[in-house]
C-alpha cells in the first residue's frame, strides 16, 4: 500500500532499492515463505531428524488440499531426499528455500505443505496431525533386551539384589 505522502515515482524507486514491503514477514519466514492460513502440515527440523515422516507427507498430499511443498534447502540433501521423492510421486510442486533467513535450528521448520489459498487447517504439526503414525513408529522400536548375567554373576549374587 503506497504511502500517501510519497509520489508514485518515489514509492516505485524505494521498492526498487529496498524491495517490495512484505506482509507478515515473520510469519512468512517461519512457514518457509508462505502464510499460516495456507499451511496444511509442518515438520520441524527436530522432528525430521528424529524419524522418517514420508508416510505422513504422502497421506497429506493425497488429501488434495495442499499440493505445494516447501523444503528448507539449508538442511542436508540426504535428509530431504525422501520427501523430494514423495512430492514428485504425488505430482506436487516443491520448492527448496535456501535463503539465509531460513534457519536449521531444531524449532525451525524443515518441511511445509501448503495450499495456494487459505485453508485454515489445524493442527498442522505432523506429530499432532498424524499421532497414529508416531504411535506405530514407537511400537516398532526394539525393546531393550534384559541384561544378561554370566553364570558366575548369578552364582555369587545375593537373592535380595
Residues 14-42 have pLDDT tens digits of: 777 876 777 888 899 999 999 999 999 99
* Contact status, residue 109 vs residue 73, Cβ threshold 8 Å: no
Residues 104-134 have pLDDT tens digits of: 999 999 999 999 999 999 999 999 999 988 7
* Contact status, residue 2 vs residue 12, Cβ threshold 8 Å: no
- Element spanning 77, H or E: helix 77-89
Q: Which residues pair with 114 in a beta bridge?
A: 39, 68
Query: Where are the domains positioned within the chain?
Result: 30-137
Instruction: Report pTM.
Output: 0.74
CATH superfamily of 30-137: Ribosomal protein L30/S12 (3.30.1330.30)
Amino acid at each position: 500500500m503506497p504511502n500517501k505522502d510519497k509520489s508514485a515515482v518515489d514509492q516505485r524507486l524505494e521498492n526498487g532499492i529496498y524491495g517490495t514491503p512484505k506482509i507478515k514477514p515473520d510469519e512468512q519466514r517461519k512457514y518457509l515463505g508462505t502464510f499460516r492460513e495456507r499451511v496444511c502440515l509442518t515438520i520441524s527440523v527436530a522432528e525430521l531428524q528424529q524419524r522418517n515422516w514420508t508416510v505422513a507427507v504422502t497421506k497429506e498430499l493425497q488429501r488434495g488440499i495442499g499440493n505445494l511443498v516447501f523444503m528448507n534447502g539449508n538442511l542436508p540433501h540426504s535428509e530431504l531426499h525422501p520427501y523430494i521423492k514423495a512430492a514428485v510421486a504425488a505430482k506436487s510442486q516443491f520448492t527448496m528455500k535456501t535463503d539465509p533467513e531460513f534457519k536449521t535450528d531444531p524449532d525451525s521448520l524443515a518441511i511445509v505443505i501448503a495450499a495456494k489459498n487459505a485453508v485454515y487447517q489445524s493442527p498442522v504439526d505432523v506429530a499432532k496431525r498424524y499421532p497414529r503414525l508416531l504411535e506405530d513408529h514407537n511400537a516398532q522400536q526394539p525393546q531393550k533386551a534384559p541384561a544378561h548375567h554370566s553364570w558366575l554373576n548369578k552364582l555369587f549374587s545375593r537373592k535380595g539384589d
